[in-house]
Every structure is written in C-alpha cells, then in structure tokens.
Structure 1
C-alpha cells in the first residue's frame, strides 16, 4: 500500500535526534498505556464498592494522562522552546510590519469610545482642518476648510487622515453645539492707530448683526449648560483688547453665530466697519509739507 510515496520529497531526511525523540515518545506512550491497563484491571478485581471503583478508575486515568503529558514535555522541551522563540520572533516581525495598521485600528476605537466627533463636525488635528464627511476603521475623510485656522470657507480639497493620528495628537472639535456657536476673530492695529474708535465701531456692528437671534442663542446655551452640567459664558457680543507684541493692539471680537454662518457674519461686520471708517493714524507732517510746497511754488512764480 505504501510502495509509491510520491508526496514525500526526494531529499526528505529525518535526523537522528528527531528519530531518538520519536522513539522515546513511542516508548513513553506504550508504557503509560500498559500501566493504565494493568492498573485498571487491578482496581476492577480488588475494589468491590462500585462508587469507590469508579472514583479510582477516573483518578488513575487522569493521573496517567498527566504523567504522559509531563513526559512528552520533558522529552520535547528543547524543541518546544525553540518553537516558542520562533513564534515570538514571527509575532514581533508581524507587529513591526503592521504597526501603522494597528495604530489605525486603535485610533478608530479611541475616537469612537471618546466620541470625539461625528459626521458633519468641523475638526482640526495638527494643521489639518475641515468638515468630517466619512469615517472608516483605517481613515477619516474631511473637506478642508481654510486656508489657515481663522477662515471658514471650503477650499474644495478632500483630506484623508489616517486614524493613527488620533492616538498621539489632540483633536479640536469646533462643533461643540449643533445650532449656535461662538465665533472669535482678531483685528490687528498699530499702537498709534485710532483703535479706540475701531473698538467702538466693531462693538456696534457686532450688536447690530447678532441682535435678531441673540435671545434664541441665550435660551439655547442655557439649555446646553443644563444638559451637560456646564456654566455657559455670556452670549452677548464683546470686543476685548490684546497686546501680543510691543507697538500693536489686537481687537478680539467674540460673537454668537449660527452654525455654518460664522464666516458670513464676520465678513458682514468687517465690511460695515471698514467701508465707513478710516482708523489709520494721522501723519503729523502732512499739513506742513503742503504749506511748504505752496510757498515754494509762489516764490518760483514771482521769480518768473
């Protein structure tokens, strides 16, 4: 029946060490089987109580099985240790090769468990900012908003972010609320400019554009604060002063805005303020220069 063994390769050779281990294992198995058979026969002939006989038979069977397993482990211990080291090496190589994929899966679990954002939210991670349009186990897709972190118009570019970034980088969610939100923008001035008039003009324009829905925002923010246990700040428009560097005054405008209309309201306020006012500093020598120019012109005329 085994005359034609075509499935074995021609150079298949079993080493003497493996043959010795196989022989030792066979001897151990045969010895355990013989001892178990003799022990079973002895128990059946000498023990009269059925309950005690069954108990001893079960205990002897389990004892010989444990003895067999310990013997095989002792015989094949060196080979098992080598196999375990090979498995560990393969596992380490697999982890190193698929590190990014594992981080992507981990990031997906992290953002889902922490509820960092949902579809439609506007997020920023590192220098990437946009509206979330798709999520998967490996990546998150956003429509870019910007350029920069102060603009709110879509650039038309789609960005695919690997979820591995969510493991090591903080995520900024600009869509904390769904209907109304706070919007902040900064207007820089020089120290000598008429920034006091600009502050007043910005405050008037912000109050004017936010007045139609200000009471709705106040009730909505109060509801959000009650639901989430937060103390919500005042929703009234305000203009504050900052001095980031010497010689400059920055007016920071904070207004409540409808979701999706932050850029529209910002542009409306800036257009209203700067189309009707000029806040640049006056030049002291401008009148004197004109007077000197007129005098020189008259002298040239008299000389002719």
Structure 2
C-alpha cells in the first residue's frame, strides 16, 4: 500500500511546458482576487453615495474579470494556438471525409428554399427524368419517365438522386402548373413529303382533342398569369415549322393538356392523323397517278 501511495506523485507529474502556465495562472488569479478585495473595501469606505458605490463596484468587478481573461489568454497563448491548429486540422479532415453528405444537405436546403419542385412534379436533371415520389435530407426519389426526353411512359425503374446534384446542376420542372400544362411534341418529315397536308391535319386533330376543355384552360392560365405577374400565353393549339437540316421538315405541335394526360392526348392526335392518311412521297405520287387514270 505504501509503495502504491509513493507512486502517485510520480504518475501525476506534469510536463514542464504545462507547469509554468499553471503556476502563472494561479498567481494571476490570486493577484486579481486580492486587488478586487482591496478595491471593493476601499470603495465601500470612501464613497458615500450608494448609487455611485454600486456603479463603481460593478465596473471594477467587470474590469478585473476582463483583465483575468486577457491574462489567461496571454499565459496560455502557445497552448491555445496549438489547440486551435489541431481543431482546424480535425475540422478539415471531417469536411473532406463528409463532403458528399454536406453537399447533399446543402442541396436539400437549396431546393427547398428555392421551391424547385414538389412531390408529384415531373423533373429532369442531367439525363435523369421522372416523377418525384419521395424527398429526404440526403436524396430525392423519382419514377423514371421515357424513353428519352420526349417520351411520357413510365419505364418502371426507380431512380434515387443524391441531393448534391441540385447544388451544381440545373433542374427542369415540367409541371409548371398544378392542373394544366403545355405539351410539345415533334413530327419529322422529309422535305419532299406532303408536310403541308400533315400540318393541316395535325392542327385540326389538335383542335378537336382540346375543344372540350379549351375554355377552362383559358380561364386557368389567366388566373395563373395574374397571380404570378406573367403575360398570359395563348392556349390555342398550334403547329409550327422547323428545318433542322436541309432535307427535313419538322412539325412542332404545341397544345394544352391536363397534367398526367400528355402522353394520352399525343397518341390520340397521332393515331387520328396517321390512321386516315399517309403523307409520304410515294403515296402522294400514287395518288397523283390514280387521279390521272381516273381523268383518262
């Protein structure tokens, strides 16, 4: 037992680098306590006004406290500097190790603060496109829609996107409004085909498909324009012409459609137009020959 007690001081021995700051700190605290006690006793004996006495006591107390803090900071300056460098190194290592998690949390805050999309919206980011079905602090889950960027069929695949993507990549939200959207699709033709007839047929089919709800769309878009301070776009179906290459003509059909029914109305228009006519060059030539034989 005596041997164990004799070993305690040796085990508790402090390194020389800490012994001097500890002694200096103890002396500083002792000096501040003595000075504060003497000053308080002098103020209580010398100052007659109770209000002034109380103010001086509080001011000197705070002054000695500040002096003590500054003295301790000067005494332990080297140790504090070493500790700060260690903390910075640990913080840098932590940030490097958890960079992706930090980016995911930042992306979640960014998309929530910006109101980029909500559950049920159809979004596209990079090559990923689908309907949002879940959002967490680290990831966003979508049901893939395709094929490609123009299809509207669900592929049956679920994609989990890390929220870090929303920090560096733009997000396309295809669900601008809650009830009605504008749907655009392209029908390509060769320049020698009867694309003029196809343009007319597509416009007529689009007008027939949209006629039952066109007035409701006008009222809704007007309401959206007033609430968001936007110019109300024309909701009437239209078919415009594009020539991406010299040998092709693309007919771009734009029409209003209810959210979730864009694929349905597109297929209805295409089926109606191409089941009743063939606008290829060969068929157009055959129709011309048939007309010549009938005239003969």
TM-score range normalised by the length of the shorter chain: 0.7 to 0.9
Cα distance, 1:76 vs. partner? 0.7
Q: Structure 1: which 5+ runs fail to align?
A: 287-304
The 1:268–1:15 alpha-carbon spacing in structure 2 relative to 1, beyond 3 Å, is same
Deviation at 1:157, TM superposition (A): 0.9
Measured after TM superposition, the shift of residue 283 of structure 1 is 9.3
8 Å Cα contact 2:182/2:254 also seen in 1: yes
1:218-237 mapped onto 2 (5 Å cutoff): 218-237=218-237
| Counterpart Cα distance in 2 of 1:165 and 1:281 | 47
1:273: how far off? 1.6
Q: Which residue of 1 aligns with 2:255?
A: 255
Alignment partners' CA distance in 2, 1:269 and 1:48: 100
SS in 2 for 1:117: coil
1:256 is paired with a residue of what secondary structure? Answer: strand
The equivalences for 1:158-173 within 5 A come to 158-173=158-173
Contact 2:194 2:284 in 1 (8 A): no
**What is the TM-score when the length of structure 1 is the normalising length?**
0.85
Distance 2:38 2:119 in 1: 72
* 1:55-79 alpha-carbon deviations (Å, 9 max, x no partner): 3333332222222222211111111
Instruction: Between 90-99 and 38-47, report the one with greater CA deviation.
Output: 38-47
1:1-304 alignment runs, 5 A limit: 13-282=13-282
Runs of 4+ residues deviating >6 angstroms: 2-5, 283-286
Number of aligned residue pairs: give it: 282
- Unaligned 5+ runs, structure 2: 287-296
**Cα offset, 1:284, TM superposition:** 11
1:135: Cα distance to partner? 1.2
Structure 1: distance between partners of 2:54 and 2:68 = 21
* In structure 2, C-alpha distance between the alignment counterparts of 1:61 and 1:99, rounded to whole Å: 46
Report which of the two structures shows the higher radius of gyration computed on alpha carbons.
1
CA apart distance, 1:12: 6.4
